Amino acid sequence: MSSAFNPVVQREFFGIVRSPKAFATLLALTITFSIAVLMRWPTDATVDLSGVQSIQVFRVFGYGLLAGVVFLVPAFPATSIVNEKNAGTLALLLNSPLSPLSIYFGKLAGVLLFALLVLLASLPGAAACYAMGGIDLKSGLGLFYFVLLLLVFQYATLGMLISSYVQSTDAGVRLTYSVIFALFFLTLIPNAFFPGGSGVMGTVAQWVRYLSPVPVVMQIMGQGGLGSKGLITSPGNMQFILFTLVSSLVFAAVTISRLNYRIFDQSRAQGVITDDRGLVARLLRRFLFIVDPQRRKPGIPWYLNPVMVKEFRCRRFGRSQWLFRLVALCAVVSMVLTFAAATSVTSWGTETIGGLMVILQVILIVVMTPSLTSGLISGERDGGGWELLRLTPLSSLKIVRGKLLSVLWTLLLVLMATLPGYLVMIYIQPQMWYQVNLVLVCLAWTVVYTVAVSAAVGSLFRTTAVATTVTYVVVMSLFVIPLLVWLGRGAPFGFEMVQRVLLINPVGAALSVIETPGFEHYNLLPAAWYVAGGFSALMFLVFGLKVWRLTRPV
């Protein structure tokens, strides 16, 4: 390797490629793409001159590849800077003659080269789609790969920006996936309720929609922009490209500006609590906080599981003041939505409002749960706490119970906070109370299901960052794949196929019960509950067995 070659690129790229995880990922992706194409490959001898069949194959392949990029790419940049910082090697790099710019671009190039490998692994599949005919090389395949490259660039710069701010690798992973998930899905919601772009709200919603790659990809796949109506289809390719490029450059610039002494310039927390402050400060804090985070805590009472209390106390988000804020936010959002429907500000029906509330809650659950649950065991093992926990007389059952309860209580509080919205809905349409009940049961199952999957998957890994990444990928896949299949209802997927796939999680059932447009024809209950119950029981069993095994002498 010549001396002109950036040594950071060499280390980053080969570091990623050498890991068995990366090899397994590439192998799995290549196999998945091939299988996806083969599954939809025509088996009869007739020639399809319309190109419909090839478009169907291309859609399956394209959405799969998009999901692959969204799930896999952020994991590497999200840990890239914080890992170096915690290992002490970032200080060595900054102390070397390498400039912050070359360090940054070295790291970025490492991630981008790996992402390029992922895209290269998909080329045989893409070539097969193209060979079937009916897909334009420039406006179809070419534009699709260009969008993917832009996304990779944006996610890599975003992940590295977040990585430069956080203090631990798992926090980097959690935050990066949450932001990307928000950019990918949340940005679509306003436009779904203000379609057409009329009025200020409509224009804002239209612009927010350009932040997500989904409308552009759907347009490429020949499905029209998501949320578009009639002739007012405007996927906003240019706006998306512009936003992605500008935001990536801003992310990169901010990260580079942080690659100096300031990244380490952080004093230790002094730990001054409210009880030790002056009278004015004490009164002010008690006035401003519902639950003062800096107050002196009482001992753990005998009736509470100490592991559960410990989990709440050592999680920043688990602390009461944060929980109260989240619960308050959820309550306000649900009330506002229902109020909007009740006062006929919009033309939404209660079904649409109900669907929106369900989607918002599911997004909250899917984003929060892996973050809270994946590190239940790996976090302890990472920080050395597991050894200490094993030394105590706590049984594995008590540890499992305490850890799971800490997550379940948090999520149930969030769910409960949306109850006022549902109550207003029932007040407007009393006949909906039965549907609302069924929806709430579905959501409760969603919580249990997500917690079970996250806990089981997270417990299989030793390090928190890996556990969090894999858990996010698995949980998101379980929730996104059925939605992608639902988007392809009619073609390429038939009614039966979509109905079966929607049973994978209880969200489809909730949306069908509340008669959300597009879901009203599916009959998913009570089968969805049985599937969720059975799968959750299996996952809890895996989690329990793993904890039991880890508490045994080896």
Partner 1 sequence: MSDQQPIIETVDLTKRYDEFTALDSLSITVHSGQILGFIGPNGAGKTTTIRILVGLLKPTSGTARIAGADCLTESRKIKRLVGYMPDDFGKYSNMRVGEYLDFFGAAYGIGRRKRIVRIDEVLEIAGATYMKDLFVDALSRGMQQRVAIARTLMHDPQVMILDEPANGLDPQARIDMRTMLLRLADMGKTLIVTSHILPELARVCDIVAMITKGRLRAFGTLDEIMRDIQQRRTFEIQLVDHDQVDRVVALVESWSREMNHESEVTGATTETMVRFTTGLNDREITPLLTHLVGSGEAIAQFREVPTDLEDAFLSVASGSHGGDAPQTQPATQEAAS
Q: Which residues bind partner 1 (CB under 8 A)?
A: 168, 268-273, 276, 296-302, 306-307, 309-310, 313-316, 319, 383-385, 387-394, 553-554
Identify the burial level of 468 via C-beta atoms within 10 angstroms of its C-beta, where 0-12 means exposed, 13-18 middle and 19 or more buried.
buried
Shortest Cβ 346–partner 1 spacing (Å): 42
Report the C-alpha gap between 63 and 482 in whole angstroms: 12
Q: List the structure tokens of 444.
A: 């409760």
Cβ distance to partner 1 smaller for residue 258 or 398: 398
Cβ distance to partner 1 smaller for residue 95 or 270: 270
CA proximity to 28, closest of 82, 4, 64, 63: 64
Name 71's Cβ contacts closer than 8 Å, sequence gap at least 6.
472, 473, 476, 477
Question: Could you count the other beta carbons within 10 Å of the beta carbon of residue 89?
Answer: 12
CA proximity to 547, closest of 381, 416, 434: 381
Cβ distance to partner 1 smaller for residue 298 or 490: 298
Shortest Cβ 553–partner 1 spacing (Å): 4
CA proximity to 455, closest of 349, 371, 348: 371
Phi, psi of 27, deg, nearest 5: -65, -45
Shortest Cβ 249–partner 1 spacing (Å): 33
Shortest Cβ 386–partner 1 spacing (Å): 8
Name 219's Cβ contacts closer than 8 Å, sequence gap at least 6.
225, 233, 235, 237
Maximum alpha-carbon separation in the chain: 86
Cβ distance to partner 1 smaller for residue 46 or 266: 266
Q: List the structure tokens of 511.
A: 């949306």
CA proximity to 479, closest of 185, 250, 238, 209: 185
Report the C-alpha gap between 306 and 388 in whole angstroms: 14
Indicate the residue type of 354.
G
Cβ distance to partner 1 smaller for residue 209 or 315: 315
Shortest Cβ 351–partner 1 spacing (Å): 42
Shortest Cβ 298–partner 1 spacing (Å): 8
Shortest Cβ 470–partner 1 spacing (Å): 22
CA atoms within 13 A of residue 375's CA, in its CB half-sphere: 25
Cβ distance to partner 1 smaller for residue 146 or 548: 548
Shortest Cβ 169–partner 1 spacing (Å): 13
Shortest Cβ 360–partner 1 spacing (Å): 28
Cβ distance to partner 1 smaller for residue 165 or 207: 165
Cβ distance to partner 1 smaller for residue 207 or 322: 322
List, in sequence order, every residue forming a beta bridge with 107; answer none if it has no partner. Answer: none
Phi-psi region of 7 (alpha: psi -120 to 50; beta: other; left: phi over 0): alpha
Cβ distance to partner 1 smaller for residue 299 or 430: 299
Secondary structure of residue 489 in the 3-state scheme: strand
Report the C-alpha gap between 27 and 152 in whole angstroms: 19
